[in-house]
Amino acid sequence: MALTDTACKNARCGEDRPYQRFSDAGGLYLEVTAAGSKLWRWKYRFNGKEKRLAIGMYPEISLAQARRARDDARDLLKAGTDPVQAKADRKLADRVKLENTFESVARAWYDHWKGSKSPRHADYVLRRLEADVFPELGRRPIADITAPQLLAVAKKIESRGAVDIAKRAWQTCGQIFRYGLAHGLLERNPATDVKPSDALKPRKKAHFARLDAKEMPELLRKIEAYAGTPVTRLSMKLMALTFVRTGELIGAHWDEFDLEKAKEWRIPAERMKMKTPHIVPLSKQAIEVLQTIHELRGLSGLLFPGERDHDKPMSNNTILAALKRMGYGGRMTGHGFRGVASTILHELGHRHDIIELQLAHQERDDVSAAYNFATYLPQRRKMMQAWADHLDMLRAGAKVIPFKAA
């Protein structure tokens, strides 16, 4: 006889019995224990063996719900699927889904990604995730995150005026989702559904402060007469002669230089923005500056060790502060030497591709990197010596007439 809601409510276990079963229909029954708990079960046979599927507790699962669950399980059985095994598979999937939160996958991606990055950059990326992204998305299953949810995180960062950080957060999240895709943890990358430019404010292109080419003679003379520390003066001279990035200059080690035979500075890939090696041919003037620096600070492995801690390079603000002291605050930066060099070298007729190579502007893939960093090296040597000679003429106040370089 089929059960009723009243019968379920009044069902009790008989005395001296651990449990008692009250049958409904089609193998469904309510199991009542001596302690008073009531559990819905469904009895069936699979591959010739009798099995029981636990459906849930009464009254949390009503009689009507239990019957629907029985019917669903019966459909699985007709399709050749064991309902008990299907339930176990769902539980496993749910547990995996909970474990594969955005934060857990992001940290796995980070451990994989950080190997080829500088410790400073890798630490910065992790701190930004911890500060801006994990509090919003960290506990969500990564497969459930949608583009609007990701956009909300970026908009929240943008709202405090950090437009660049918002776009970088979006890009980092996109890499994390790609990592999840590669490992079968999700089926779609929500970061590709919307472009940051579709919803975030456009970023104003930052231009480093730099002088006009006509102002270089006065700057060079002021550097020569700089009253600060000799090492700071020499760092500015070397910056002008080599026009490398400030970080590449202050982080230089003596073992990167060959002043005798090759007369070049080989900056390793890990210190370059493009993550490929870079060669800086050294003019006679640059070698003289380096020799003078060695006499002053040659005991350290670093070219420009810090004043207090000789195991760390000098501050990246050292050159900026010196320029400000000379009256160029807000008008010139260390990076500005690169822009001025590019302008003047083009005016002097040097080839654009050679200038760009020496500025390390060109993108390089893994296959061609070993070749590209030495491309046009003889021409670049001539250009760097011509540049140093040109700076000497500017400093001396000689009239310079641009000409087409050979």
Treating both helix axes as pointing N-terminal to C-terminal, what angle do 147-158 and 163-182 enclose, rounded to 10 degrees? Answer: 150
Among positive and negative, which fits the CA dihedral 74, 75, 81, 84? negative
Let me know: does 304 contact 249? Beta carbons within 8 Å: yes
Treating both helix axes as pointing N-terminal to C-terminal, what angle do 216-224 and 230-242 enclose, rounded to 10 degrees? Answer: 150
CA angle, 280 then 281 then 283, to 5°: 125
Closest C-alpha to 364, from 376, 374, 372: 372
Query: Is the backbone peptide bond immediately before 119 cis, with ω within 30 degrees of 0?
Result: no
Tell me, letter by letter, the H, E, C secondary structure of 188-233.
Answer: CCHHHCCCHHHHCCCCCCCCCCCCCHHHHHHHHHHHHCCCCCHHHH
Alpha-carbon gap, residue 71 to 291, rounded angstroms: 88
Residue 224: count other Cβ atoms within 10 Å of its Cβ. Answer: 11
DSSP 142: G
- The tokens for 188 are 């779609």
Closest C-alpha to 130, from 100, 102, 155, 162: 102
Active site residues: 245, 273, 335, 338, 361, 371
Alpha-carbon gap, residue 239 to 221, rounded angstroms: 15
Q: Which residues contact 283 (CB under 8 A, 6 or more apart)?
A: 241, 384, 385, 387, 388, 389
Give CA separation, 63 vs 12, 53, 54, 59, in Å: 16, 15, 14, 8
Let me know: does 125 contact 134? Beta carbons within 8 Å: no
